[in-house]
Chains A and B, each alone.
Chain A
């Protein structure tokens, strides 16, 4: 069945045509050269709607090679709809090996999380970004936000954090928490929980960010300083849980709260399914 499909209409390797991939790689080189800077690119029509990861898919398609091993996660899990579909898409159009193991993967596409297992040099993470402009909620004009980046005028971002403290008593922004990359560009880390922000700092792996609808990509190269914004008297903190994971007993992973019946019973489990499984296996 698969073979007849292939003979009837052959897709190019990794779906995109070679010229598009070259355009993307050129933009990626610029992004790596200027950490945190948003590089415009010609986003293509993809076989799924905007908001489902078209930016991330295009980046992955432009850098994936025959020898790569691909892992795709959505909310930390390998078995959710978006992850399954994107993984199957690349398996079909590239025939590269896929995995759910963070350690075994050379290329990881993610929607909301950075895996708990520490990344290693040589790995590449691709993030699907809905809104690459961290200042957008406060400044609607693209002309103005680009000027703010050019002149490094980032006081505005602190207005948002100020507003958080004034209203909630603490910095209530818990995901997409703004970061300063390489002490120069203010960036949105895509909707990862702020729990994962410290993993961006001096990461040994290359981190690439793609926003398909907004047609922007940016990068955090390995071993780059990434600082989460904060106030002197309200420093940056990450989420902590009183519970341990109900399945693997881990105390230091990011936990999802799951409601288990109609009476309001709930359990906390790791959002990173691969990590959770490893922990369970090592205990068994």
Chain B
């Protein structure tokens, strides 16, 4: 617990027109959920993609500590190594389940894909592991051979979680995972997520514009505006006593309802 899973300092991604994200510093520890909130276009998703190596950073450093305890500098990491980490140590949950799932193969194959990528070649074991994970995300194991197209939006999103967590990653990136879900489904989804994070001790970085999600899940929160972090700290502190004018606006405009 003493060493952070991820430490970010001075990170910048500049699109060249003033857009992007700049001067990002934070640390993330095991079992911690960090939410990044802010309005549309404030650089949340850019930051997430830059951290996950999907975009190349223009300045700063991102250090990731893997399961074995060795440290990797993600901004200069070779692609082969980055892809290896992405398969074994990270997960990425997208806003639209369609982007994160293979829609034309069964739920079981979706969950097993990462295991097979890591070299598991026993069909019976793969299937059993997949069934267990479906149950963990509250999908009946009878649905193992159904395609995700036959699933509801909430189930697809839970399937995406199972597909990402099956290899027990240390760090999961989530880009507005509750974006397309209605409120009751959202609540169950968040409940499930909180339990999984608690049980597995993974670290999560989640982009959201829903402060309700932040309050439920996150220990710490970054508030972003125009590509910069304007306020960072414990979630309760930020939501109950926002200091920066923009955070105050955000909190007052959303929590009133």
Contact = CB atoms under 8 A, between A and B. Distances in A.
Contacts, number: 59
B80 A151 contact: yes
A138 B108 CA distance: 16
A168 to B, nearest CB: 11
Contacts of B123: 162, 165, 231-234
A138 B102 contact: yes
Contacts of A233: 122-124
Given A162-B126, A166-B145, A155 B113 contact: yes
A232 B122 contact: yes
B122 A163 contact: no
A173 to B, nearest CB: 14
B145 A231 contact: no
A155 B83 contact: no
Contact of B118 (A155, A162, A234): A155
B114 interface: yes
A233 B124 CA distance: 7
Given A138-B102, A151-B80, A166-B108, A158 B114 contact: no
Contacts of B118: 155
A167 interface: yes
**Would you call the interface of chain B mostly helix, strand, loop, or mixed?**
helix
Contacts of B124: 233
Interface residues of A, number: 20
A13 to B, nearest CB: 45
A258 interface: no
Interface in A138-192: 138, 147, 150-151, 153, 155-156, 158-160, 162-163, 165-167
Nearest to A167: B145
A52 to B, nearest CB: 29
Nearest to B145: A166
Contacts of A162: 105, 108-109, 112, 116, 123, 126
Interface of A: 138, 147, 150-151, 153, 155-156, 158-160, 162-163, 165-167, 230-234
18 contacts: A138-B102, A151-B83, A155-B87, A155-B114, A156-B117, A159-B112, A159-B113, A159-B116, A160-B105, A162-B105, A162-B112, A162-B123, A166-B108, A166-B144, A230-B121, A231-B122, A232-B122, A234-B123
Given A155-B87, A156-B113, A156-B117, 12 more contacts: A153-B83, A153-B87, A155-B119, A158-B116, A159-B102, A162-B109, A163-B105, A166-B127, A231-B121, A232-B122, A232-B123, A233-B124
